[in-house]
Amino acid sequence: MIYDLVHFPLAEGFGIQTNIFETNVINLSIVIAVVISFVGKNLSSLLEDRRNTILKNLQEAKNRALEAQEKLNKAINQLEEAKKKSSKIREEGMLRVEQEIQSCTNQHEERLARLDEFKEETVQFYQQKALKQAYLYVISRIMARVKERLNTGLDETYHVVVNNFYVSRFTEYNP
């Protein structure tokens, strides 16, 4: 008996489906059912392992975050201590600078005082030197005039004046 495909009633019984979409859905559902039945346990164990790994990673990340927070707190404390130390060092530095400035000022004033003393001594020395030179000049001029007078001889009037001078000095002398 030869059956003609055209004589089969549509949607009755078992036969060849000409609708590809429905056939694909049925085939896909069969494949999924087979995969779930055979692979389901392995897949669920793989998913459970992955879940445990993720939880373990999250716990490690949490622990690292706590460690990082502790390190951050420690670093903040160290920073505060460093700020206090730097402030203290800055204050000590400013105090030392002020002391050094005061010391330099005092040394400068002492040097100025010594320079003033040296200046006064120098002025006195040159004044004495000038007076001595003037004295020597006047004495040498007087001596030159006396020599000149002695060499030229004494005239009568000058001789009388010199004698009177010595006589008056002699009369004033009281032993």
Which pLDDT tens digit goes with each residue over 11-44? 555 556 566 777 788 888 888 888 777 777 777 7
Is the overall model pTM greater than 0.85, yes or no? no
DSSP letters for 110-172 = HHHHHHHHHHHHHHHHHHHHHHHHHHHHHHHHHHHHHHHHHHH---HHHHHHHHHHHHHHHHH
pLDDT along the chain (175 residues), means of 10: 47 61 83 78 82 94 95 95 94 94 94 93 92 89 81 75 83 75
- Asked if 8 contacts 15 with a C-beta cutoff of 8 angstroms, the reply is yes
How many Å apart are CA 130 and CA 118, to the nearest integer?
A: 18
- Dihedral sign, CA of 33, 37, 39, 41? positive
pLDDT of residue 3: 45
- Asked if 23 contacts 17 with a C-beta cutoff of 8 angstroms, the reply is yes
pLDDT of residue 154: 66
- The residues, any chain, with a CB within 8 Å of residue 23's CB and separated by 6 or more, are 17
pLDDT of residue 171: 83
- The residues, any chain, with a CB within 8 Å of residue 42's CB and separated by 6 or more, are none
What single-letter DSSP state applies at residue 9?
P
Tokens 């429905």 label which residue?
Answer: 22
Sorted by where each begins, the domain ranges of the chain are 14-172
